[in-house]
Amino acid sequence: KFGTAAAVEEPIKPPVEVEHTQLLIDGKFVDAISGRTFPTLDPRTGDIIAHVAEGDEEDVGLAVTAARKAFDEGPWTRMTAYERSMVLYRFADLIEKHNDEIAALETWDNGKPYEQSASAEVPMLARLMRYYAGWADKIHGLVVPADGPHHVQVLREPMGVVGQIIPWNFPLLMYAWKIGPALATGNTIVLKTAEQTPLSAIYVSNLLMEAGLPPGVLNIISGFGPTAGAALASHMEVDKIAFTGSTETGKIVVELAARSNLKPVTLELGGKSPFIVFDDADIDQAVELAHFALFFNQGQCCCAGSRTYVHERVYDEFVEKSKARAMKRVVGDPFKKGVEQGPQIDMEQFNKIMKYIRLGKESGATLLCGGERSGSKGYYIQPTVFADVQEGMPIATDEIFGPVQSIFKFRDLDEVIQRANASRFGLAAGVFTSNLDTANTISRALKAGTIWINCFDVFDAAIPFGGYKMSGQGREKGIDSLRNYLEVKSVVTHLKNPAW
């Protein structure tokens, strides 16, 4: 019996209206040239929330032209860095003012608990904008000593028109991770939202214009990957592309970028992150955080702790407690207070997760709880826990992107390092131990972009995030994210009189 079966109740009416459904090009809301629209669905029911303009190649073309003009002619690129930073500060204030409407739109379109949208994601969006606002007027070059009679300056310049493609699991945070560093460094942008979740980005981009962003600096295209996304990645006038999504699509984006104009690419892709619990850890805390690491956001996190490794001496206790915790997880309408888990994003993801649950059972893992759909409407899935998972099983190697925890047993440090690293991914890892030497050894040995020790999913604006191996290229957030959007120019001046 699960926490609640709110999934079968009538869905709660979201406390917000959909105001904007058009494309944002050159500072104006416009329909797609084709006149086409596509429905965006409520994951609680599968019902249509709104019909949204469907941008494709032609609309991307117009958006890139607008972004080019805004870059080449200003005023954005002629403004002082301080003026640009003030636009982002004012945007953050407007986000706070409209916190609850933005959060409601995000929950309605995505299905994540409203309490999280309102108390974490939207505030984090404002926090990220202030972080990047703070950088805008602190980006500077170097004067470097070189052999010979030369004065050498190294300048950092914006790259130009930046294309950005984002996924549906954290629509607003992915938007912030993308536009923040690109705007702080003075670029102009064409951003394509995910077809599942177009609404919140259009809404907040309107606030960004209200904050003083000039027309054409940020253009928003709603639409599909193979049409609008591919057009952006292959456009000859786009100077850089940043992508977050699946590893398969990341490969396509790299290929399109290479085949067109060799634009540089940054990628944030999939993961299969280990969460490692040693026998000297605080077990209750580790159980709770392992649960959070996997089930947070309906399990739809690229860095989900989706391989829970537990030391054999504490394995049985850990497994029992993990099962009990999962069975207490409150699944239901994400607008309902106290709900921890809403529906999955759509039918495709729902089916994919159910397939992996079936494969888990067939391959001989022990199903401790869950494994079924929750309710009869929408895309709710019971919190599911497998124990005795063996390396090589599909649930051990593939990114499931759903509420399915897989628990493995291990014996010692070297063995778990080797097993944790035996993955094509390398996004993140969690380590639970009270031994400093274990923590130090393992954090150096693991091939992953983020190692969380006795914590998980700590996302600060200043902490770089990104992947080793097939989890990505480049880093987002922190100082490293700025480098993705800056060209380096060396200016070498001959000195007539080097003695002075």
183 part of the interface to ligand ADP, by CB under 6 A: no
Site map for ligand ADP, 279-308, x if CB under 6 A? ------------------------------
Indicate left, alpha or beta for 436 from its phi (over 0: left) and psi (-120 to 50: alpha).
alpha
Within residues 136-165, the interface with ligand ADP by CB under 6 A covers: 165
Tell whether residue 249 is a contact of ligand ADP (CB under 6 A).
yes
Q: Which amino acid is at 64?
A: V
| Residue nearer to ligand ADP on the CB measure, 25 or 369 | 25
How large is the greatest C-alpha to C-alpha distance in the chain, in angstroms? 84
Q: Which stretch binds ligand ADP (CB under 6 A): 249-257, 273-281, 289-297, 366-374?
A: 249-257
**Least distance in Å: CB of 272 to ligand ADP?**
15
Structure tokens at 430: 């969690």
Using Cβ positions, the residue closest to ligand ADP within the complex turns out to be 225
- Based on the shown chain and the rule CB under 6 A, indicate whether residue 195 belongs to the binding site for ligand ADP: yes
Q: Which stretch binds ligand ADP (CB under 6 A): 189-197, 313-321, 332-340, 487-495?
A: 189-197
Answer yes or no whether residue 230 interacts with ligand ADP by CB under 6 A: yes
Contact between 226 and ligand ADP by CB under 6 A: the answer reads yes
Contact 454, 280 (CB under 8 A): no
Q: Do you find a cis peptide bond into 75, omega within 30 degrees of 0?
A: yes
> Of 268, 340, 399, 476, which residue is the catalytic one?
268
Instruction: Give the residue, chosen from 29, 224, 292, 459, that forms a contact with ligand ADP under the rule CB under 6 A.
Output: 224
The CA–CA distances, whole Å, from 155 to 143, 354, 450 equal: 9, 52, 30
Q: What is the DSSP string of 423-436?
A: SSEESEEEEE-S-H
Q: Which range, of 11-19, 192-200, 259-267, 468-476, touches ligand ADP by CB under 6 A?
A: 192-200
Q: Which amino acid is at 309?
A: Y
Of the candidates 469, 452, 476, the one whose C-alpha atom is nearest the C-alpha of residue 275 is: 452
User: 189 forms bridges with which residues in the sheet?
Assistant: 162, 218
Residues in the chain: 500
Q: Does 171 bind ligand ADP (CB under 6 A)?
A: no
CB of residue 302 to ligand ADP, shortest distance in Å: 9
Cα separations in angstroms, 21 against 34, 392, 423:
15, 44, 41
Reduced to 3 states, what is the DSSP secondary structure of residue 134? helix
In the residue annotation, 58 being an active-site residue is answered as: no
In 10 A of CB 27, how many CB atoms?
15
In 3D, which of 18, 38, 29 has the Cα closest to residue 219? 29
Asked if residue 55 binds ligand ADP (CB under 6 A), the reply is no
CA–CA gap between residue 305 and residue 272 (Å, rounded): 7
**Nearest CA among 66, 119, 128, 102 for reference residue 204:** 102
Site for ligand ADP in 102-131 (CB under 6 A): none
With CB under 6 A as the contact rule, the residue among 163, 180, 225, 403 that binds ligand ADP is 225
Tell me: does residue 259 bind ligand ADP (CB under 6 A): no
Q: Which is nearer to ligand ADP, 104 or 165 (CB)?
A: 165
- Write the Ramachandran bin of 152: left for phi over 0, alpha for psi from -120 to 50, otherwise beta: beta
Contact status: 194 vs ligand ADP (CB under 6 A): yes
Please tell me whether residue 167 binds ligand ADP under the rule CB under 6 A: yes
CB nearer to ligand ADP: give 253 or 407.
253
By C-beta, is 46 or 212 nearer to ligand ADP? 46
Binding piece for ligand ADP, criterion CB under 6 A, among 65-73, 82-90, 245-253, 419-427: 245-253
Nearest to 376 by CA among 45, 18, 20: 45
- Scanning 44-121, the segments in alpha helix (DSSP H) are 57-73, 81-97, 99-110, 114-116
Among 90, 192, 321, 323, which residue sits at the site for ligand ADP (rule: CB under 6 A)?
192
Asked whether 99 and 203 are in contact (CB, 8 A), the reply is no
From the list 121, 195, 301, 302, the catalytic residue is 302
Q: Would you call 302 a catalytic residue per the annotation?
A: yes
Q: Any contact of residue 371 with ligand ADP (CB under 6 A)?
A: no
Catalytic residues: 268, 302
Residues that bind ligand ADP (CB under 6 A): 165-167, 192, 194-195, 224-226, 229-230, 233, 245-246, 249, 252-253
